[in-house]
A and B are shown apart, each in its own frame.
Chain A
Amino acid sequence: SQKIEQNSEALNIQEGKTATLTCNYTNYSPAYLQWYRQDPGRGPVFLLLIRENEKEKRKERLKVTFDTTLKQSLFHITASQPADSATYLCAPDNYGQNFVFGPGTRLSVLP
């Protein structure tokens, strides 16, 4: 069956460092992959989408890579700030047939 894993349930890093979050998937081949941010008690907010034919995507301090051979996406936040503390969810998707999220990584950026 299809499975999505994110590297760790929780990740603590020091302010100013680069946070790297991992999303691995098995038993399917998503056409694209999305990353979302969720704050406690609120709905997820879209951050970035990367397609299977794209190796890398950037948006301000965010960078996403997509390796279809490794079946993995990496999500980087450079120069991290306490305001970046949130849960980050990946969603590999096969043309929107079943929009399923990974378990999420709870990131804490310590001042």
Chain B
Amino acid sequence: DTEVTQTPKHLVMGMTNKKSLKCEQHMGHRAMYWYKQKAKKPPELMFVYSYEKLSINESVPSRFSPECPNSSLLNLHLHALQPEDSALYLCASSQEAGISTGELFFGEGSRLTVL
């Protein structure tokens, strides 16, 4: 079982809706990540939080808004999405960001469909 929990597992939303994806880890990790994955493509990095501060934003459109309320939680707020934003959204965590400590732990993902 994964130690990174993502909710919801599936989300269907219209282009005018506002929704949020949530991610939680209790491993004491200080870095958390959001990735987007389209079919038959690798995960694509969106955001990195290190010690609850946004450290990397890979030029993601502003309709995606990340939030890190505390060291265990990571949210991705969604607003005015487009159908092409439909994808699997993966959350991950690691002990630290910025040093070669080791692996990323991934959640099972949230499958988003934008109608």
In the docked arrangement, what's the CA distance between A7 and B109, Å? Answer: 27
**Partner-binding segment picked from B11-19, B64-72, B76-84, B86-94:** B86-94
Q: Is the interface of A mostly helix, strand, loop or mixed?
A: loop
CB pair B43 A101 closer than 8 Å: yes
Q: A96-B94, A96-B98 are in contact. Are A46 and B42 (CB under 8 A)?
A: no
In the docked arrangement, what's the CA distance between A93 and B90, Å? Answer: 19
Closest to A104 in B: B42
Residues of A within 8 A of B102 (CB): 46, 49
In the docked arrangement, what's the CA distance between A93 and B97, Å? Answer: 11
Q: Which residues of B contact A (CB under 8 A)?
A: 2, 4, 31, 33, 41-43, 45, 48, 56, 58, 88, 90, 92, 94, 96-109, 111
Q: Which residues of A contact B (CB under 8 A)?
A: 31-32, 34, 36, 41-46, 49, 51, 89, 93, 95-104
Give the 6 A-B CB pairs with smallest separation, nearest first: A43-B106, A46-B103, A101-B42, A32-B100, A96-B97, A31-B100
